[in-house]
């Protein structure tokens, strides 16, 4: 059992661990208004593609509960509007849109039912999505843990643990399953500028599991690889195109290029809800651009001259030819991805 949860539903409330405050403080936010869920997603109080998906579904359920109408048609129209508002919170992680499509589909499938029943269905669906996410992550971790071998030194970027998901984790879940299977290895944790998901969150989670790690500045990865100190790279994903091109936290592409240059296998772990089969390749993935203040300031303190220009792309896209394998709950897809991913999708 993980001794914390990223998000849960608690009698008409969403409870989420405020990741902006970690590791200094463990504070759970209790939210009853869907606008606050949008704010939590936007400001990264809750983050990581699968966790964003669950938060979107729970936010939609909260929004539904607040609708004061007994007319099913009016309810459906106003519910769609709420879903559109939630969809605008962040653009890259496709799990957000996947989750909203699913809850909107549920309302459409039960069109005309009494509003009270529709609300109950939406609350139950959001809770089911949280549960499913854990089951999927555990399956994915079992499917992928064979890539982790005794004594390996593994590098990871950003945070992909229980915090970034409903529970257990994606890339970190694979490491956790390998550790629980008795393998002993160590992890290089990229700090992950500018919001330090690696330094603040991945170290926190690895520490709780007991996996030995060493935190490094993002810029140190190449030197460690050149010294022969890295055996494998593993990351999560925010959106994977039909050809396997993968959007993940800014800096991931750099890790993949470096790994390729040094002959180190680079793996991605992500649930099928992170795949976007509607786009042929990564050039179609919308990349979030966040405020430059996240780069020019650290904890509110300026680290650049006043007025300094900063470009803050939150994600980059790793071309699939740099990826040794994509670990999913359906198994590990290998190149060529156009066909292996299609087969996975069909199950
Ligand atoms: O901006 P964030 O912190 O939401 O970005 C998260 C990532 O890039 C993760 O690596 C990705 O969502 C996979 S989470 C299992």
Where does the pLDDT of residue 299 fall: very low under 50, low under 70, confident under 90, or very high at 90 and above? Answer: confident
315: CA distance to ligand 1 center in Å? 9
Pair 246, 318: CB distance under 8 Å: yes
pLDDT(21) > 80? yes
- Residue-wise pLDDT for 114-159, tens only, equals 999 999 999 999 999 999 999 999 999 999 999 999 999 999 999 9
Q: How far apart are CA 102 and CA 57, in angstroms?
A: 8
164: CA distance to ligand 1 center in Å? 7
pLDDT(224) > 70? yes
Residue ranges covered by each domain of the chain: 7-138, 143-346
Q: Answer whether 7-138 and 143-346 agree in fold.
A: no
Characterize the bridge pairing of strands 186-190 and 213-216: parallel
Query: Is 54 close to ligand 1, i.e. is its CB under 6 Å away?
Result: no
Tokens found for residue 39: 């704010």
Q: Point out the ligand 1 atom lying closest to the alpha carbon of residue 48.
A: 12
Instruction: Give Cβ neighbours of residue 298 (< 8 Å, ≥ 6 apart).
Output: none
Q: Is 238 a catalytic residue?
A: yes
Q: How far apart are CA 176 and CA 83, in angstroms?
A: 34
Average pLDDT (22-49) is: 98
24: CA distance to ligand 1 center in Å? 20
Query: Is 248 close to ligand 1, i.e. is its CB under 6 Å away?
Result: yes
Domain topology for 7-138 = 1.20.120
139: CA distance to ligand 1 center in Å? 19
End-to-end Cα spacing for the chain: 29
Query: Is 164 close to ligand 1, i.e. is its CB under 6 Å away?
Result: yes
Query: Is 238 close to ligand 1, i.e. is its CB under 6 Å away?
Result: yes
- Residue-wise pLDDT for 250-280, tens only, equals 999 999 999 999 999 999 999 999 999 999 9
pLDDT of residue 1: 66
Pair 153, 228: CB distance under 8 Å: no
30 pairs with which residues across the strands?
15
The count of C-alpha atoms lying within 13 angstroms of the C-alpha of 273, restricted to the half-sphere facing its C-beta, is 27
- Domain 143-346: homologous superfamily in CATH: Translation initiation factor eif-2b; domain 2 (3.40.50.10470)
318 three-class SS: strand
| pTM to 2 decimal places | 0.97
Q: How far apart are CA 339 and CA 283, in angstroms?
A: 19
């Amino acid at each position: 059992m993980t001794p914390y949860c990223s998000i849960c539903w608690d009698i008409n409330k969403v409870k989420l661990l405020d990741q902006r405050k970690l590791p200094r403080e463990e504070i759970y936010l209790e939210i009853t208004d869907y606008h606050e869920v949008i704010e939590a997603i936007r400001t990264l109080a809750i983050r990581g593609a699968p966790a964003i998906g669950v938060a979107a579904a729970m936010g939609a359920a909260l929004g539904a509960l607040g609708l004061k109408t007994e007319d099913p048609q009016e309810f459906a129209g106003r519910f769609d509007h709420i879903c559109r508002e939630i969809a605008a919170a962040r653009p890259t992680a496709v799990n957000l849109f996947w989750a909203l499509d699913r809850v909107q589909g549920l309302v459409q499938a039960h069109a005309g039912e009494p509003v009270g029943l529709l609300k109950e269905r939406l609350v139950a669906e959001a809770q089911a999505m949280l549960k499913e996410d854990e089951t999927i992550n555990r399956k994915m971790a079992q499917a992928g843990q064979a890539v982790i071998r005794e004594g390996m030194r593994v590098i990871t970027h950003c945070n992909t643990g229980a915090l970034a998901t409903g529970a257990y984790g994606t890339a970190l879940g694979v490491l956790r399953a390998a550790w629980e299977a008795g393998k002993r290895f160590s992890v290089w944790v990229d700090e992950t500028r500018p919001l330090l998901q690696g330094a603040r969150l991945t170290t926190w989670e690895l520490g709780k599991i007991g996996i030995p790690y060493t935190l490094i500045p993002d810029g140190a990865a190449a030197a460690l690889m050149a010294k022969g100190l890295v055996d494998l790279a593993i990351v999560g994903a925010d959106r994977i195109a039909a050809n396997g091109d993968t959007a993940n936290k800014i800096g991931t592409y750099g890790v993949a290029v470096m790994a390729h240059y040094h002959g180190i296998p680079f793996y991605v772990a992500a649930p099928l809800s992170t795949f976007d089969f509607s786009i042929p390749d990564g050039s179609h993935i919308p990349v979030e651009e966040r405020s430059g203040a996240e780069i020019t300031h650290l904890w509110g303190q300026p680290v650049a001259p006043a007025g300094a220009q900063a470009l803050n792309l939150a994600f980059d896209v790793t071309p699939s030819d740099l990826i040794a394998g994509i670990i999913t709950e359906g198994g590990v897809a290998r190149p060529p991805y156009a066909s292996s991913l299609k087969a996975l999708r069909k199950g």
